[in-house]
């Protein structure tokens, strides 16, 4: 994620949350970059209040070194979800992302 100046919002054991203003990155460029950087199907992008909320799945969060990349424990599983499980947690991510981006813009001025 070095080509874009994405801002880290928070990290958990299984995923990390990043953000950026929608006026700085075209959605196709962002999606293509993330596919190249972390792999296809390893991220989820949502646009809320003119900011991207990007959830990136952490590949090596549970001894993935010994796991078959195509195993049922990953993409084929019904439990394979990227990001928080509750709507309340997603709202908290949006609010935290807004605060981080607004403070970032203020310091640049």
Q: How far, in Å, CA of 1 to CA of 31, rounded?
A: 11
Kindly tell me if the per-residue pLDDT of 4 is higher than 80: no
Please report the pLDDT score of residue 3 as a whole number.
Answer: 57
pTM: 0.74
Q: What is the mean pLDDT of the chain?
A: 80
Mean pLDDT lowest among 3-7, 40-44, 61-65, 80-84: 61-65
* Other C-beta atoms lying within 10 Å of the C-beta of residue 36: 10
Domain that holds residue 43: 7-60+75-108
Domains: count for the chain: 1
Which residues make Cβ contacts (< 8 Å) with residue 57, sequence separation at least 6? Answer: 14, 15, 38, 42, 43, 82
Q: How far, in Å, CA of 27 to CA of 25, rounded?
A: 6
Q: Which residue has the higher pLDDT, 36 or 66?
A: 36
For residue 65 the two structure tokens come to 């070194």
Q: How far, in Å, CA of 97 to CA of 10, rounded?
A: 9
Report pLDDT digits (tens) over 40-76.
Answer: 889 999 999 899 999 999 865 444 444 444 444 444 4
Location of structure tokens 């196709």: 28
Please report the pLDDT score of residue 73 as a whole number.
Answer: 46
In a domain, residue 1? The reply is no
């Amino acid at each position: 994620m070095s080509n874009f100046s994405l801002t880290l919002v928070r990290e958990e054991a299984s995923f990390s949350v990043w953000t950026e203003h929608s006026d700085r990155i075209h959605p196709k460029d962002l999606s293509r970059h993330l596919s190249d950087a972390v792999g296809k199907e390893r991220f989820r992008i949502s646009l809320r209040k003119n900011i991207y909320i990007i959830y990136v799945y952490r590949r090596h969060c549970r001894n993935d070194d010994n796991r078959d990349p195509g195993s049922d424990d990953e993409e084929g599983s019904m439990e394979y979800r990227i990001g928080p499980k509750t709507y309340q947690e997603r709202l908290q991510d949006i609010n935290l992302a807004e605060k981080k981006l607004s403070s970032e813009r203020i310091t640049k001025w």
